Amino acid sequence: MSEKRHEIDELGEFGLINRITKNFTLTNSTSLTGIGDDAAVIAAGNDNLLVSTDMLIEGIHFDLSYVPLQHLGYKAIAVNVSDIAAMNGKAEQVTVSLALSNRFSLEAVETLYNGIKAACENYKVDLIGGDTTSSVSGLVISVTVIGRAPAEKIAYRSGAKANDIICVTGDLGAAFLGLQVLEREKQVFLADPNMQPNIEKYNYLVGRQLKPEARTDIVFDLEDAKVIPTSMIDVSDGLASELLHLSNHSGVGVRIYEDKVPVDHQAYETAIEFNLDPVTCALNGGEDYELLFTIRKEDQEKINKHPDIHMIGYMHDRKSENVMITKQNNFVPLKAQGWNHFKEN
Amino acid sequence: MSEKRHEIDELGEFGLINRITKNFTLTNSTSLTGIGDDAAVIAAGNDNLLVSTDMLIEGIHFDLSYVPLQHLGYKAIAVNVSDIAAMNGKAEQVTVSLALSNRFSLEAVETLYNGIKAACENYKVDLIGGDTTSSVSGLVISVTVIGRAPAEKIAYRSGAKANDIICVTGDLGAAFLGLQVLEREKQVFLADPNMQPNIEKYNYLVGRQLKPEARTDIVFDLEDAKVIPTSMIDVSDGLASELLHLSNHSGVGVRIYEDKVPVDHQAYETAIEFNLDPVTCALNGGEDYELLFTIRKEDQEKINKHPDIHMIGYMHDRKSENVMITKQNNFVPLKAQGWNHFKEN
């Protein structure tokens, strides 16, 4: 019998997770939802608790040659808080585990924690635990966040129905373009260390990449407007990938309009400068940490004056037809080309 | 002004944690206990939730040249479940995040998860989430465990009073000696790859190192006996280090008797073979994952027939006097010489 070795990147991250977790079942009555959404759900009295975790690895998720440690600490918390917001919940606690090589001084660790602390204060979450150890090489940050929501307010990926309106917050593609700018400046610097980085005109994009914010404000605004999203996810891998998640979990199809996809003007101009299509950056760029959600048609008027919520399309009942309708009225199939940390290597 | 760089290993792990976390405060009413015990405590209806997290790094915490991946997966869960047991609680959920270099095949990852699954089934915990990513080098496993206990049953490190009886489960030092055996056999193998490892006579010690068990049985036994420990901790860094934690948190002193410290006979003989003092291995070895706890004197008779609970000493009111009374009736100060993952490098 041959024992062929199979490479992980044949499957990709989602394939690997599916393969591994299909043998696991939930047995405790308090485990309400396991793997497969932005956060797991645990019974806890009147509310449910939401649990999510993310690991950031130096050389894979961040490059310390242009990511300041303080921003990295902030981002590590923000992206986890975003996963709780994506369930329509409120983050309350985090644990932070660090592995550090001896390249890092005490001062460097304190700078990292200054960012963690700034994010904890901004999002009103408490640091309640963690683990700190040395590493053979580089920095690893693993964060687990715990949030809370009444059961009836939790928004899963699976609740969208045909005719629901698709909404997205903020603007998309800027974080990806910020990364392109930073990578280009790094190459310029490596070629000639006397060159000063020229990123001022890209300040919005670079800020979106280095210090993204979780849209916890939207969770409060939806509560005030008495709107519970029928489905919800945060935009970490790119709009197209997240739309396909909602389609897949909810069993309905997606139609969005190209001219409704929100792209900031700095992102638009920079995309052109890089010979990239701005909407493609929005669809596939990732790391925007905006919220993508669906609402019932009758809730539309409750939030259609919100300055930062954009209605970009609607759900329909043919679940395999996930398309973007272009400005020329062509139907373009949506494809997930988001970030795959296994395929990047 | 000089800006001196300070090295992390000047502080050690506990010093670093203290330094970093002293600026963080708990602000949410649901955050009952933060950093400083085996697990954090969160309000959740009638019960409290317990949260703990651990990160295992290849080359620091394990050596894949002699640690089978299946055992590693099992151990990653067991050591986290042990932290919940150390609060007198019951673990219910875990998240598992993995970073993997492309050295690992899909089959290797599945073997690791077979061990994780075996532990989840044995301890009746549900895998509810995680993150999977690539790494630049080696394997990183980060586990967060969530457990549960009624508020009045949670045992903190801080509750011991003078005259409380000090109890420890199982036997100590075997995991440390198992590691010595494995390291020796590795050196033999590196010197002559045709040599077969000779570990059969050390099977108990090697098993304690490679596949430790969390003492969840003791939590149930204490419940049956209607005993709530006044303080509790698990033995991960060595008995001496853990006793000093209880002394420090509770503000009382420790007296233990050398002849009461439980050491398995295989551990005893192997310590002698390695020219090590068996009781020193028990005091400083670490990774036993037994439970160390204190009980009120009046509870003593409720558990003194338990075959696996050993009463090794008592607390007294001079908190700076932490001693072991030797067989020759000498008083030896207890010192924490447990594992320090920063000082090992």
| A137 touches B at CB < 8 Å | yes
Q: Look at strands A253-257 and A323-325 and give their pairing.
A: parallel
DSSP string, B166-187: EEEES-SSHHHHHHHHHHHHHH
A84-140 confidence digits (pLDDT tens) = 999 999 999 999 999 999 899 999 999 999 999 999 999 999 999 999 998 988 999
In a shared domain, residues B176 and B117: no
Handedness of CA A276, A282, A284, A289 (dihedral sign): positive
In a shared domain, residues B169 and B148: no
In a shared domain, residues B174 and B145: no
Q: Residue B339 domain-assigned?
A: no
In a shared domain, residues B79 and B211: no
Q: Among B153, B183, B206, which residue terminates a domain?
A: B153
* Number of Cα atoms under 13 Å in the Cβ half of residue B98: 25
Q: Between A17 and A319, whose confidence is greater?
A: A319
Question: Which residue on chain B is closest to A95 by alpha carbon?
Answer: B53
pLDDT value, residue A18: 82
Spatial contact of B37 and B157, defined as CB atoms under 8 Å apart: yes
Q: Which of B10, B60, B124 sits opposite A136 (nearest CB)?
A: B60
| A294 touches B at CB < 8 Å | no
For B:227-266, CB contacts with A below 8 A are: none
Q: How confident is the model at residue B97 (pLDDT cuts 50, 70, 90)?
A: very high
Q: How many CB atoms lie within 10 A of CB A65?
A: 10
What CATH number is associated with residue B73? 3.30.1330.10
Q: What is the average per-residue pLDDT within A48-58?
A: 96
The CA dihedral of B114, B117, B118, B119, to the nearest 10 degrees, is: 130
pLDDT value, residue A344: 36
Spatial contact of B260 and B171, defined as CB atoms under 8 Å apart: no
Query: How large is the angle between the packed helices B203-210 and B265-273, nearest 10 degrees?
Result: 100
In a shared domain, residues A268 and A127: no
Number of folded domains in chain B?
2
Q: Between A28 and B12, whose confidence is greater?
A: A28
| A328 touches B at CB < 8 Å | no
| B111 touches A at CB < 8 Å | no
In a shared domain, residues A131 and A174: no
Cα A132–chain centre separation:
25
Q: How confident is the model at residue A17 (pLDDT cuts 50, 70, 90)?
A: confident
For residues A40 and B28, what is the distance between their CA atoms, to the nearest angstrom?
21
Q: Which of A269, A345, A341, A63 is nearest to A182 (CA)?
A: A63
Q: How confident is the model at residue A216 (pLDDT cuts 50, 70, 90)?
A: very high
Q: Residue A105 domain-assigned?
A: yes
Burial grade of B327 (CB within 10 A; 0-12, 13-18, 19 or more): exposed
B277-302 confidence digits (pLDDT tens) = 999 999 999 999 999 999 999 999 99
For B:23-52, CB contacts with A below 8 A are: 23-28, 30-31, 33-35, 39-40, 42, 44-47, 49, 51-52
Q: Which residue has 């670490």 as its token pair? A: B286
Question: Which residue on chain A is closest to B112 by alpha carbon?
Answer: A20
> Chain A closest CA to B305's CA: distance in Å?
32
In which domain, by residue range, is A46 found? 8-153
Q: How confident is the model at residue A2 (pLDDT cuts 50, 70, 90)?
A: low
What DSSP designation does A37 have? B
In a shared domain, residues A212 and A71: no
Is the pLDDT assigned to residue A82 strictly greater than 90? yes
Burial grade of B136 (CB within 10 A; 0-12, 13-18, 19 or more): middle
Best mutation target among A46, A142, A344 (most B Cβ atoms within 10 Å) is A142
> Looking at beta carbons, which residues of chain B come within 8 Å of A127?
21, 24, 34-35
In a shared domain, residues B131 and B202: no
> Looking at beta carbons, which residues of chain A come within 8 Å of B57?
99, 133-136, 140
Q: Which of A261, A77, A59 is nearest to A173 (CA)?
A: A261
pLDDT value, residue A125: 98
Q: Between A119 and A192, whose confidence is greater?
A: A119
| A61 touches B at CB < 8 Å | yes
| B58 touches A at CB < 8 Å | yes
| A105 touches B at CB < 8 Å | yes
- ipTM, 2 decimals? 0.92
In a shared domain, residues B147 and B35: yes
Spatial contact of B99 and B58, defined as CB atoms under 8 Å apart: no
For residues A82 and A76, what is the distance between their CA atoms, to the nearest angstrom?
10
A295-305 confidence digits (pLDDT tens) = 999 999 999 99
CA-to-CA separations, A164 to A297, A307, A319, in angstroms, rounded: 6, 20, 13
A312-323 confidence digits (pLDDT tens) = 999 999 999 999
Q: Residue B75 domain-assigned?
A: yes
B34-63 confidence digits (pLDDT tens) = 998 999 999 998 899 999 999 999 999 999
| A22 touches B at CB < 8 Å | no
pLDDT value, residue A338: 52
Strand order of the β-sheet with A47-57 is: A31-33, A40-44, A47-57, A140-150, A90-100, A126-134
Q: How confident is the model at residue B3 (pLDDT cuts 50, 70, 90)?
A: low
User: Does A339 show up as a binding residue in the annotation?
Assistant: yes
What CATH number is associated with residue A183? 3.90.650.10
In a shared domain, residues B85 and B210: no
Q: Residue A216 domain-assigned?
A: yes
Burial grade of A158 (CB within 10 A; 0-12, 13-18, 19 or more): middle
Q: Which of B11, B53, B146 sits opposite A131 (nearest CB)?
A: B53
The verdict on a CB contact (< 8 Å) between B20 and A138 is: no
Q: How confident is the model at residue B2 (pLDDT cuts 50, 70, 90)?
A: low
Is the pLDDT assigned to residue B224 strictly greater than 90? yes
* Residues in CB range of B158: below 8 A, 6 or more apart: B37, B231, B249, B250, B251
> Looking at beta carbons, which residues of chain B come within 8 Å of A89?
none
Q: Residue A89 domain-assigned?
A: yes
Q: Residue B158 domain-assigned?
A: no
Instruction: Report the percent of chain A where pLDDT is more than 70.
Output: 97
Q: Residue A340 domain-assigned?
A: no
The verdict on a CB contact (< 8 Å) between B106 and A138 is: no
Q: Residue B208 domain-assigned?
A: yes
pLDDT value, residue B1: 47
The verdict on a CB contact (< 8 Å) between A51 and B144 is: yes
3-class DSSP state for residue A310?
Answer: strand
Is the pLDDT assigned to residue A46 strictly greater than 90? no
